[in-house]
A and B are shown apart, each in its own frame.
Chain A
Amino acid sequence: MRGGEAATLEAVLQSVEDPEIPVVSVVELGIVRGLDAGQVTITPTYTGCPATAVIEANIREALDQAGFEDIQIKTVLSPAWSTDDITDAGRQKLKAYGIAPPPKGAKAASLCNKSVAECPHCGSINTREISRFGSTPCKALWQCNSCHEPFDRFKCH
């Protein structure tokens, strides 16, 4: 693949949003694993994430529209996706959207959800977990003890 084509391809993928958290792209979430040899490699976030099929269909549509009909999409499971794969830009966007981003290092500490979460509204770290499971598989429900606003927290994974 030529350099210019690879750059265009990356821009196309950057334009594909996550269906459940539309402020971040599939690249920023770490779903896109690589682009080479005529194929885009992707990995699912959660085993049962209902968005997985939608994400693949959206990537296909974006590729086709940009004239990359010959590019294949390959799905791999290993190494398993981790919240560490979310880029720094992705973390900033999650926070601005009102979702506390996951701390880094989830791979080392598989259950780090008991650590402190920063309130995305007021910045307080005086917060508590309301429910380990939230509105989507990737989020837990938290509440800020300072401003009392509830917020979603991206779960360590």
Chain B
Amino acid sequence: MRQDPIMQSALRLGDDALILGQRLSEWCGHAPTIEVDLSLANLGLDLIGQAMHFLGLAGDIEGQGRDADTLAFFRTDLDFTNCLLVEQPNGDFAQTMTRQWLYSTYQQLLFEAMAGVEDARFAEVADKALKEVRYHAELSADWVIRLGDGTDVSHQKMVDALGWLWRFVPELFQMDELDSLAVEAGVGVDKAALRPAYDAAINAVFEEAKLTRPDDQRTLTGGRHGHHSEHLGHLLATMQHIPRSHPDARW
């Protein structure tokens, strides 16, 4: 069946936010300090709020009666369209903060551009969420600098985190046919065009953090088409367990 690019665009945006939000919620009660615990929980909450808007929109466009909760809890990993970066495990605190920084820096640029698209349903959510995403990008960049320019141990942990996560960055900027159709339809933006601004932003942080930009590795991709790492299945099992066991449960 031919996919509707507008519905799929909303789904991709919603899935990124949902999966990263769920990942961050895993830190609840485990972060190194209470302030960090609150920060990560708040970031997760913002992202789940975005997911509710975008998945709700995807369901409305599809018109088959699926709402945000149905899309979140009753799809399998093959139907999820999030990028591979956001499903990567939390690892240690350095890996969580690196993942956040790599994603939020991208998401800020994406939403800045998307706030100007023709379709108000997309532009309004992007514009609304942008203020929150700027906090995420700033907070995570602060930690990348603090850890990178910290002790020998914290620096090494940042190097290790980047060494793993860097391979997932190119996928963020990939444009497939569906993305191009979304641009034509006035709901999407040319993600590839965001890369120079992204590089400028992260290179500035690398410098301040006394970190070397990693060499480009063999890119891992496929998340947008449902080809995920095994990590997503485990995340979904935890996230979907209750609604699937008790599909009629109500608050």
Residues of A within 8 A of B (CB): 44, 46-50, 77-78, 80-81, 110-111, 130-135, 137, 141, 157
Q: Is B134 an interface residue (CB 8 A)?
A: yes
Given contact pairs A46-B45, A131-B35, A133-B41, enumerate 4 new A-B contacts (beta carbons under 8 Å): A80-B127, A111-B138, A133-B38, A133-B43
A135 to B37, CA, bound (A): 11
Confirm or deny: B220 has a beta carbon within 8 angstroms of a beta carbon on chain A. Answer: no
Please determine whether B49 and A132 come into contact, CB atoms closer than 8 angstroms: no
Q: When A131-B38, A133-B39 are in contact, do A47 and B129 touch as well, CB less than 8 Å?
A: yes
Q: Name the interface residues of B19-38: CB closer than 8 Å to any CB of A.
A: 21, 35, 38
CA distance A110 to B130 in the complex (A): 10
| B132 partner, pick from A47, A130, A134, beta carbons under 8 A | A47
Q: Are A48's CB and B49's CB within 8 A?
A: yes
Q: In the bound complex, what is the Cα–Cα distance between A16 and B195 (angstroms)? A: 46
Interface of B, helix, strand, loop or mixed by DSSP = helix
The number of A-B residue pairs with CB atoms under 8 Å apart is 67
User: Are the C-beta atoms of A46 and B132 separated by less than 8 Å?
Assistant: yes
Is the pair A46, B49 in contact by a Cβ cutoff of 8 Å? yes
Contacts A/B (CB < 8 Å), 10 sampled: A47-B46, A47-B129, A49-B49, A77-B127, A78-B120, A78-B128, A111-B134, A131-B39, A135-B38, A141-B35
Which residues from A are CB-within-8-Å of B202? none
**Mostly helix, strand, loop or mixed at chain A's interface?**
loop
Query: In the bound complex, what is the Cα–Cα distance between A50 and B42 (angstroms)?
Result: 11
Min distance, Cβ A151 to any Cβ of chain B, angstroms = 15
- Residues of chain A contacted by B43 (CB below 8 angstroms): 133
A78 near B124: Cβ-Cβ < 8 Å: yes
Contacts of B50 in A (CB 8 A): 47-48
Whether the pair A110, B131 counts as a contact (CB closer than 8 A) is yes
Chain A residues with CB below 8 A from B123, complex form: 78
CB distance from B2 to the nearest CB of A (A): 30
CA–CA, A77 and B53, complex, Å: 10
Q: Which residues of B contact A157 (CB under 8 A)?
A: 131
User: Nearest CB to that of B33 among chain A residues?
Assistant: A131
B139 within 8 A of A: yes
Find out whether the CB atom of A48 lies under 8 angstroms from the CB atom of B128.
Answer: no
Q: Which residues of B contact A49 (CB under 8 A)?
A: 45, 49
